[in-house]
Amino acid sequence: MDLELELKKLSQQKVTWKKYSAEGLDLDYSLIFNKQLASDIFLKLEDSIQYYTGDLTKVKVFGKYHNIPRQQVAFGDEGVSYKFSGVTIPAKPWTPQLEFIRNYLEEITNYKYNFVLVNRYRNGSDHIGEHRDDEGELDPQTPIASLSLGQEREFVLKHADARKKIRDIPKIKIVLQHGSLLLMNPPTNKFWYHSLPIRKSAPGARINLTFRKLL
């Protein structure tokens, strides 16, 4: 399969979005790739992506380093790096496949992206804890574009006031399907935490790519 050609053809087609709105929350969700294309891309990424090892597999929480419960790596334009959870994540140069995907996402969203964080969940025990992507180095106008491939997993959003138990605001849960794109539009990351909890009932591998615009 010629991924560049497939995505060029697909970029001529209209994308239909499902909107999620709540106080301070604005999300758009769409199944952008059919199952066949999503599986082809998943396998290409499985073949070509090497995840970080060593210190880059750790995060700093209250001054102590912990192994992250998933695999991680980042790609981006030259000289770009991203600092979060006490660690600076350098970006490797774009691979051809990631650049084709980035170009396609730029076409359908009308935003520009210069960085992608790749998280790989080996099984249902791998997860990401509650956090906001609200670092100052992220362009506040550009939504984070989150592409999911592989095992379907539940994505949970919690308002900061509900987290602090100041107010009772219902959580929002979205099952992120194989081949789906979720846009986290501003100001979502200011008010809402998100996580991908452990799900022993969802044991397959999953790759998530969050395309970001760093300033």
Ligand X SMILES: O=C(O)CCC(=O)C(=O)O
98 binding ligand X? (CB under 6 A): no
Please, are residues 165 and 174 in contact by the beta-carbon 8 Å criterion?
no
> Which residue of 49, 196, 199, 213 would you call a contact of ligand X, by CB under 6 A?
196
How far apart are the C-alpha atoms of 154 and 141, rounded to whole Å?
A: 26
The CB-of-41 to ligand X minimum distance in angstroms stands at 16
The CB-of-30 to ligand X minimum distance in angstroms stands at 15
End-to-end CA distance of the chain: 34
The CB-of-90 to ligand X minimum distance in angstroms stands at 16
Task: Please say which residue, 108 or 181, places its beta carbon nearer to ligand X.
Answer: 181
The CB-of-2 to ligand X minimum distance in angstroms stands at 28
Whether residue 197 has a cis bond before it, omega within 30° of 0: no
199 binding ligand X? (CB under 6 A): no
| Interactions with ligand X, residue window 111-170 (CB under 6 A) | 117, 119, 128, 133, 146, 148, 155
The residues, ordered by sequence, that sit 6+ positions from 188 with a Cβ below 8 Å of its Cβ are 24, 25, 26, 27, 157
How far apart are the C-alpha atoms of 168 and 185, rounded to whole Å?
A: 23
177 binding ligand X? (CB under 6 A): no
Q: Cα Rg for the chain, rounded, in angstroms?
A: 17
Task: Please say which residue, 142 or 210, places its beta carbon nearer to ligand X.
Answer: 210
